[in-house]
Structure 1
Amino acid sequence: MMKHAAQFAPFALSLIMASSAQAQDPSAMLTDYLVPAYQQLAATADAQIDAMETLCQTPSEANLHTAREGFADLVSAYAYAEPVRFGPIKLNDRLERLYFWPDRKSTGLKQVQKALVGEDESVLSVDSLQDKSVALQGLNALEYVLHGALADKLKTDANSHACRYGETIAQNMWAMADQMVVDLVAEDGLIAQFENPQERSALFRTEEDVLKISFETFSHFPEIISATRLNEWAEEKPNLNVLPLRRAGLSMNLVLRDIEGVSAAFDAFTGTDEHEEMLASAFDAYRFELDNALRNAKELSAHSNQEILADDALRKKVHYLRIVLNSLRDIANEQIAPELGLVVGFSSLDGD
């Protein structure tokens, strides 16, 4: 088990506007990055529904392989969209319902196993599934269906409970992703609120509020990657069984797509216009470290967890990646924030 697990408090990064400095266009982070990301998540979930339906009707090794490939695509689409942790993804517990992690003490896994072994009929419809534990509704549950102890039966048993449960999870994820797109682009959706903050709004009363919550993506999420995806690698003898999505062999793919999402969001946030010299320098420093993170994550994603564990050079690259991710947090807080007129309070994560 992890000896130094990160302890999470509610996100408490305090950001107070100190001047009138503005980013290029925070709403571009939604229109140019988040809308396409949510649309891709919905499309990938829709494709997974089809793959699961085919597997249920015609069980075979080939169809199971196709469903597993679709799951990898679904993880990729989710991770790319994940860095923005405000707005639609925070409504109705969607963040946890889409991907319940970290799963401390395997509480969520035990719920999934119980539902499968007991052939719980209430997980076979989206309406009833949505009322159940968040751990039963998203990627972790679908991973266990496709890669867990009972997965081999998917090759032979038509319309099995497990297969129909997996199809329901995909339907549930599609419903959430589709509604998240609507919540962004609706007449009174998040984009409209970003572009026209109102004094009566509970979320964004001023342009300063918009800038503040946009900035948090670049200050906070790199630290989340380090603390919840890579922290176990800091142990002398990492326990591979506690790594995210390890059954599907997607632990490092998840990290790579998370960082690619941060990169795309950052490009949209900073825009293409020239900035004042000090702000441009701060943005360049962030981009430099972001590129370092991308290169290392891409290399690591080509290796399994077992290969990384057995190779000291790869282990060092994981350590370096954690350093770079924490450096991104520091650059955001110490260089970018002052140039945007933001005063940064304490970190939301305690422990490393």
Structure 2
Amino acid sequence: MLSFIVMLTLTTAVSATEPPSHLAMVQTALDKHIIPHIEALKTAAEALPPAVEAVCKTGSPEARHALDEKFAATVTAYAGVDFLRFGPMLEKGRREQISLWPDPRGFVGRQLRMLLLSKDEKLAEPGALAKQSAAVQGLPALELLMRDADVPLGPTEPAQFRCVMAQAIARNIVRVTSKVFEGWTKPGGWKDKMLNPGPDNDTYKNASESAVEVVKSFLVGMSQTADLQLKPQVDPKIRLAPPYNKSGLQKQFYAASIASLHQLYDAVQLEAYLKPDMAWMKGWSQGTWRTIESVDGAGGRAPHAKRADTPTSREVFDRMNGMRNIVANRLSIAAGLTIGFNELDGD
């Protein structure tokens, strides 16, 4: 009896250290990261229309402050899902409808000005804005209206049509984020598609393909954060406006992006597949996260930095690319996953 208990204990200990199956990896990523973050974006967006309406009715400092807070919460929530460029976010260009950034050619400003000049009240009708360019449908367009010091949103006549547009944009953001959430969670939606791979599944033929999709989204996030937020600080020849800088949200966007990526990294548990001779990667990744999380994304030090010194933007940029390479070429291979080309390769 004693030997049976010892054997059972040893078996349990071994089982506890076994890496998760590919399907379990996907389940954890969905339940602990992807779905909660998508829902958080939907919830944050739902607070925008009433906040815009309050500013347009009263123009009071309190209403403006409340709108600033709701907008910041929505942008922060969006930063946590921006790199999930597959499934419901990819369909019908929803990511661009929510946030057309980067925008190096200024499409948002130019196309928004055209709509404001038209003063077409029909744009306020349900579904009308959805037929327009993505540049005028989402958070960047709303930010421009909110930050226009010459004609601020409010009850005065010059701002009347701007308020019509701001409210239409806020409602459209709710519509799109709700569609994304619904696309993930409805029966037969993208969550079910990822958790039920097989020959009849038009996207994922096996659990490994579902797991690859999740890991690729992490790689996309690490790439875009490095290339779009850090690289302009490393290379002064790159002229790219930081995300939501007009609202002072560059640092919040970076922090939310990195926090979400770290959570996804922990959720997929790729390090559980490492053999003893590859255990050094665990220490390397811990040091990398400390480095990445010790800066504020704007060339300064993060409020809760864990490193004694402040890393340079160059070091953070290199560390991000190193993390991407380790995940794509070492950790994924150890987990039996083949990561192919992703959409940001070669940028």
Shift of the 326–276 alpha-carbon distance from structure 1 to 2, 3 Å rule, reads: closer
Task: Report what 2:257 is aligned to.
Answer: 258
> TM-score when scaled to structure 2?
0.82
Q: Distance in 1 between the 2:126 and 2:232 partners?
A: 34
Q: Distance in 1 between the 2:299 and 2:126 partners?
A: 36
Q: Give the Å deviation of 1:176.
A: 1.8
Q: Give the gaps of 5 or more residues in structure 1.
A: 1-19, 304-312
Task: Report what 1:40 is aligned to.
Answer: 40
Alignment of 1:1-352 (within 5 A): 22=22, 24-154=24-154, 156-157=156-157, 160-236=160-236, 239=239, 242-270=241-269, 275-277=273-275, 282=281, 285-297=284-296, 317-345=312-340, 348-349=343-344
Q: Could you say what secondary structure the match of 1:81 adopts?
A: coil
Q: Distance in 1 between the 2:224 and 2:163 partners?
A: 32
Residue type of the partner of 1:33?
A: H
Shift of the 221–274 alpha-carbon distance from structure 1 to 2, 3 Å rule, reads: closer
Q: Give the Å deviation of 1:233.
A: 1.8
Check the 8 A contact 1:21/1:339 in 2, yes or no: no
Q: Distance in 1 between the 2:282 and 2:167 partners?
A: 43
Pick the structure with greater CA Rg: 2
> TM-score when scaled to structure 1?
0.81
Of stretches 286-295 and 48-57 in structure 1, the one that deviates more from structure 2 is 286-295
Q: Give the Å deviation of 1:85.
A: 1.8
Check the 8 A contact 2:57/2:154 in 1, yes or no: no
Cα RMSD, aligned residues only = 3.0
Q: Distance in 2 between the 1:119 and 1:128 partners?
A: 14
Check the 8 A contact 1:124/1:168 in 2, yes or no: yes
Q: Give the Å deviation of 1:33.
A: 1.2
Q: Give the Å deviation of 1:134.
A: 0.6
Q: Give the Å deviation of 1:216.
A: 0.3
Q: Give the gaps of 5 or more residues in structure 2.
A: 1-19, 303-308
Q: Distance in 1 between the 2:139 and 2:108 partners?
A: 11
Q: Distance in 2 between the 1:232 and 1:84 partners?
A: 23
Q: Distance in 1 between the 2:135 and 2:94 partners?
A: 11
Q: Distance in 1 between the 2:238 and 2:28 partners?
A: 40
Shift of the 209–238 alpha-carbon distance from structure 1 to 2, 3 Å rule, reads: closer
Check the 8 A contact 1:59/1:157 in 2, yes or no: no
Residue type of the partner of 2:204?
A: F
For these two proteins, the number of residue pairs brought into alignment is 321
Check the 8 A contact 2:97/2:134 in 1, yes or no: yes
